[in-house]
Amino acid sequence: MLDAIVKTTRIFEAWSDEPWVNEGAAVRVSLVGFGNTLQLARLDGKSAAAIHADLTPASDESAANDLTSAHTLAQNERASFIGGMKKGQFDIEGDLARAWLGSPSLGASGNAAVLRPWMNGLDVTRRAQDMWIVDFGVDRTVEEASLYEAPFEHVRVQVKPARDQVQNPLERAKWWLHARPAPELRAAVRTLPRFALTARVAKHRLFTWVSGLVVVDGQLVVVARADDTTFGLLHSRFHELWSLRLGTSLEDRPRYTPTTCFETFPFPAGLTPADTAHQRTERLEGTGTTPAALIPADLTPEVRRRAEPVARAAARLVTLRDAWLNPPEWTERVPEVVPLGMTTSPYPDRIVARPGFEEPLAKRTLTNLYNQRPAWLVQAHEALDAAVAAAYGWTDYTPAMPDEEILRRLLALNRERARAQA
């Protein structure tokens, strides 16, 4: 809406982030005054040359810094996806899922074909909840679904009564299927051993890896790549700044959207989602304290030279974070269930608290880690940012580079790519 306003008139006064209490509900809002008036612009009580649609002040170089003019880039398409929407109590606790996975079923491939680990935003910002989901896919018929007796009965009892009352005729008719099963996302991650994801709404812009077998909720955004280079680009200062300015917010928490945050972001040359769309990876072996890492396969020598340091830095960041989240003195790895009819488990090990360490381990979350920002975390991110800056060819980058200068360079690159695709 604000984009349309600034194209036809002007915002002359705005308060970008204000508390608002209405009938006991505390939220945060933006207040905007607009129209064809000669009144001097004021933003958050301060004078401004002009006010952009994202409620940031225009500078003397306003055209060069107006991020609302960023273009969607074709080279970023079909790589990021919002998770599915189940609409009903398809989710079940892990212990029940494991019991069903060990039980016989008439359905093809047994109950493992319709039971998957499940994640929502809390699994990223807090700790894994050990939840699974009954998932009959995109197009199983009710007759086919009924062959998986226990999962089907759960859905019939827990989901169907509520679905019988919804207005959407398709959701009523196909009550055993998720309301929005996200077929494009499923196709994009079908062959991946892992993929990156982030919570749509969170205090910190955190990316993490999850197994390719996981079904993700609609409060998560998936990036369908398995290489550490892409992960490092996403978790860099540069993408974080871009997403904070191009995204929206819920109360005081930033919201990440694939269309505005990901599809507009100008990745380094040779490392765009179009360049890595094949999804193949090449392993870099670890040496000493340097963990192994994955880079996109088939890179040119020059692009590979820039991709490797990003992958190494990203893998080290994840290794350090995982060690903090799950100290071996407090945790143990438990092999996941082997489904009936299989000889090995297709699922990653579970990490559980050792007896007596349940309470302190519960506080080891990514949100708490980034609230604290210990020195090792700052150093790991600075190393990642330096590698990403080098991938852009920014030889003058230091951690002291102002945010506005970074955004100016990214916007200029976005515009250059947009002109090339026109």
Q: What is the pLDDT of residues 146-160, one digit of tens each?
A: 999 999 999 999 999
Residue type, position 251, single letter? E
Q: What is the pLDDT of residue 253?
A: 76
Specify whether the CB–CB gap between 301 and 293 falls below 8 A: no
pLDDT category of residue 251 using cuts at 50, 70 and 90? low
Is the confidence at residue 143, as pLDDT, over 90?
A: yes
Q: What is the mean pLDDT of the chain?
A: 91
Contacts 24+ apart (CB under 8 A), 99-104: 100/150, 100/151, 101/337, 101/339, 101/340, 102/337, 102/339, 102/340, 103/150, 103/340, 104/340
Q: What's the count of helices (H) and strands (E) in the chain, helices before strands?
A: 16, 18
Look at 23 and 371; give whichever has higher pLDDT: 371
Alpha carbons 195 and 341: distance in angstroms, whole number: 27
Cα-based distances in Å from 79 to 32, 74, 88, 239 = 35, 11, 27, 15
Residue with structure tokens 């699974």? 132
Mean pLDDT, range 164-178, rounded to an integer: 96
What whole-number percentage of the chain has pLDDT above 70? 89
Q: Helices 375-392 and 237-246: crossing angle, nearest 10°?
A: 90
Q: Is the dihedral of CA 213, 255, 263, 373 positive or negative?
A: negative
**Does residue 318 carry a pLDDT above 60?**
yes
Q: pLDDT for 10-68, tens place per residue?
A: 676 887 777 766 565 555 667 877 776 545 567 887 656 467 776 777 654 455 578 88
Cβ within 8 Å of residue 163, ≥6 positions away: 87, 88, 171, 172, 175
Task: Please give the average per-residue pLDDT across 239-264, as a whole number.
Answer: 88
CA–CA separation, 208 and 211 (whole Å): 10
Which residue, chain included where needed, has tokens 């077998």? 213
CB of 175 within 8 A of CB of 157? no
Of 23-32, 79-88, 250-259, 377-386, which gets the smallest average pLDDT?
Answer: 23-32
Candidates 196, 197, 258, 260; CA nearest to 228 is 196
Tokens representing 41 are 């612009």
Q: What's at 246, amino acid-wise?
A: L
What CA–CA distance (Å, rounded) separates 422 from 416?
Answer: 10
Angle between helices 403-421 and 237-246 (to 10 degrees): 80
Reply yes or no on whether the pLDDT at 377 is more than 60: yes
Cα–Cα distance for residue pair 201/256, rounded to 1 Å = 6
Looking at per-residue confidence, does 197 or 4 come out higher?
197
**Residue 61 carries which side chain, given as an amino acid letter?**
E
Among 104-113, 251-260, 332-341, 386-395, the range scoring the smallest mean pLDDT is 251-260
200 compared with 33, residue with greater pLDDT: 200
Residue 60: its pLDDT value, please?
Answer: 47
Radius of gyration of the chain (CA): 24
Greatest Cα pair distance in the chain = 76
Q: Residue 204 carries which side chain, given as an amino acid letter?
A: H
